[in-house]
Amino acid sequence: MSFIRKLGGAALAVGILASPAMPAMAAEVTIGIRSEPSSMDPYFHNLGPNNAMIGHVFERLIDFDSKQQLIAGLATSWKPISDTVWELKLRPGAKFTDGTDFTADDVVYSFERADGYEGGNSSFRTYTKGKTVKKIDDMTIHIETESPYPLMPNDLTTIMIMSSDAKGTGEAGKNKGVDAKDFNDGTATIGTGPYKFVEWKKGDSIVFEKNDGYNGQLPQDWDKVTFKFIPEEPSRVAALLAGDVDMIDNVPTVDIERLKGEADLDLSQGVSNRVIYLHLDQERDKSPFVTDKDGNPLDTNPLKDPKVRKAISHLINRDAIVARVMEGVAIPAGQLLPDGFFGRSPNLTADAYDPAAAKKLLAEAGWADGFGLTIHGPNDRYINDAKIAEAVAQFLTANGIPTKVETMPKNVYFSRASKGGPDGTPEFSFILVGWGSGTGEASSPLKSLLATHDPSKGMGASNRGRHSNPEMDKLLLEALATVDDAKRATLLAKATDIGIGEDQGIIPLHYQVNTWATQKGLTYNPRTDERTIAYDLSPVK
């Protein structure tokens, strides 16, 4: 076992107390993960692997527990003091790992940098726009909005706080003088979190050490944490079985039953709030990867028609994908969030596999003879992502829409999917992607995936299909300013009914169910936000 080590000596079991004559013990853990982050810069990319990894070093004002219930972070309390102003009291005594004190100046700086960030993918501007952060004193800030904004605490779980004294080599005025490489090499990776950054060996590992100056409430069971990047699923499982790592995430669905039978291992499993879905090009009249059935370019884009998008949804057999591709470890999806989350619609269920209904819709839209597509997707980001893309292509091809498949590593894919086309537009026509609600409710995916793309307002940051419906936008904005929870939930549900039920702005496929596996003697608390975090891994007491 590698999770309790004596410095320079042999391993001892958890719970054995060292005598005064024994050397000091160091608790170390090695975690094998599928997805390497694309940056340690907290504002580079609003992406699950980034947010999980960076969150070991940088804290948020308000955080989530494993079930996405709000808990204190760098703010010890928060409350509205008027219709448009929230007051937050900050945690006294918090220090950055360079020894400097955390104050309100760092919060103001962090929000300004996140809001003005250039060059990243899927920005955090969705959560910063329309908010003015003011320092009242060193330990008090006010955040002001133009209208009432009841989701302020949820939004504050997304922005990590960095030091306003961080130094870098970036150009003045661009990303506040600190570039992503300054975080990746540790120069600017200075946080207040439970761990401090040691090194990042690209393609191999990231190492953290316990932050002895941390004064927050998150557990620090480990003196040293090593995250090993093992994207190949058989290799990740083999590393766990060999004892080379103490835990792995994204347990391959085909291996779950086998690993359940291993006496030296334990599994943790939980439903995620992540929906796996398809984006379709709804903006361009001539879409680059839409062709006739012989592969020739088309001058018209059938994906702009909601009837065509609904037809495609009916041509995908979600039950078969869940059963065969996901080995039963997923839930068919018909909207943005699974049961139990705030703001979901009571009216939407997963579309049935119905080729007859699909062909009727295609005929009504003037595409009875079909057309051709290419589906693009990552091959190292979501559970079985490349296999899901292949399955979608097979269903469409079998029903008159011949579909090619092109998958690639996520670090290449997301950049191209977001801004690989002319003038920084999305490059692809039809893409597989996933979204986990960063705020734990429906406004997050509505704002990012379906709201009209408008960077100046922080809307549609990940709307790579460029869906746009003014009525849906209006309902969403009304919901964001509605204090009454019941009324806000109704408005979010109505916006979902339009964005998905009427427009088919995205095509939901399924909700992920995530599985972690640990060595005996360790336990992992499964998270609805899917993050693999060292402070949710603990020795069995």
How many C-beta atoms surround the C-beta of residue 420 within 10 A? 16
| Burial annotation 481-493 (CB, 10 A radius, 16+ → b, else e) | bbeeeeebbbbbb
In a domain, 50, yes or no: yes
Q: Same domain for 358 and 495? A: yes
Report pLDDT for 126. 85
Residue 179 CA to residue 342 CA, distance in Å, equals: 36
In a domain, 33, yes or no: no
For residue 214, the one-letter residue type is Y
Contact 302, 532 (CB under 8 A): no
CATH number at residue 53: 3.90.76.10
Residue 312 CA to residue 431 CA, distance in Å, equals: 13
Report pLDDT for 121. 72
In a domain, 242, yes or no: no
Element (H, E) at 364: helix 355-364
Distances (CA, A) of 198 to 60, 224, 516: 20, 10, 25
In a domain, 83, yes or no: yes
Residue 109 CA to residue 257 CA, distance in Å, equals: 48
Residue 66 CA to residue 88 CA, distance in Å, equals: 23
Q: Same domain for 317 and 174? A: no
Among residues 155, 182, 209, which one ends one of the domains?
A: 182
Give ∠ CA 329-332-335 in degrees, rounded to 5.
135
Residue 333 CA to residue 265 CA, distance in Å, equals: 31
Long-range contacts of 537-540 (CB under 8 A, 24+ apart): 537/29, 537/31, 537/221, 537/222, 537/246, 537/247, 538/219, 538/221, 539/3, 539/4, 539/14, 539/15, 539/27, 539/221, 540/14
SS3 183: helix
Segments of the chain with pLDDT less than 70: 1-26, 170-176
Give all strands (DSSP E) within 296-341, no chain letters.
330-332
Among residues 182, 197, 217, which one ends one of the domains?
A: 182
Q: Which of 213, 280, 215, 258 is nearest to 74 (CA)?
A: 215
The domain in which residue 99 lies consists of 41-182
Report pLDDT for 21. 38
- Token pair 């092109």 in the structure block, residue: 406
Q: Same domain for 167 and 281? A: no
Residues facing 229 on adjacent strands: 33
In a domain, 298, yes or no: yes
Distances (CA, A) of 445 to 65, 109, 380, 438: 20, 26, 22, 8
- The 8-class DSSP code of residue 106 comes to H
Q: Same domain for 282 and 170? A: no
Among residues 182, 217, 243, which one ends one of the domains?
A: 182
Q: Same domain for 285 and 419? A: yes
Q: What is the DSSP string of 223-240?
A: SEEEEEE--SHHHHHHHH
Q: Same domain for 343 and 474? A: yes
Q: Same domain for 396 and 286? A: yes
CATH number at residue 354: 3.10.105.10
Q: How many separate domains does the chain show?
A: 2
Report pLDDT for 145. 95
Q: Same domain for 166 and 310? A: no
Q: Same domain for 178 and 278? A: no
Those residues with Cβ within 8 angstroms of residue 291's Cβ, 6 or more apart along the chain or in another chain: 297, 298, 371, 372, 373
| Burial annotation 225-255 (CB, 10 A radius, 16+ → b, else e) | bbbbbbbebeebbebbbeeebbbbbbbbbeb
In a domain, 453, yes or no: yes
In a domain, 346, yes or no: yes
In a domain, 392, yes or no: yes
Burial of residue 24 (CB within 10 Å: 0-12, 13-18, 19+) is: exposed
Both structure tokens of 473: 């936008």
Q: Same domain for 394 and 505? A: yes
Report pLDDT for 170. 63
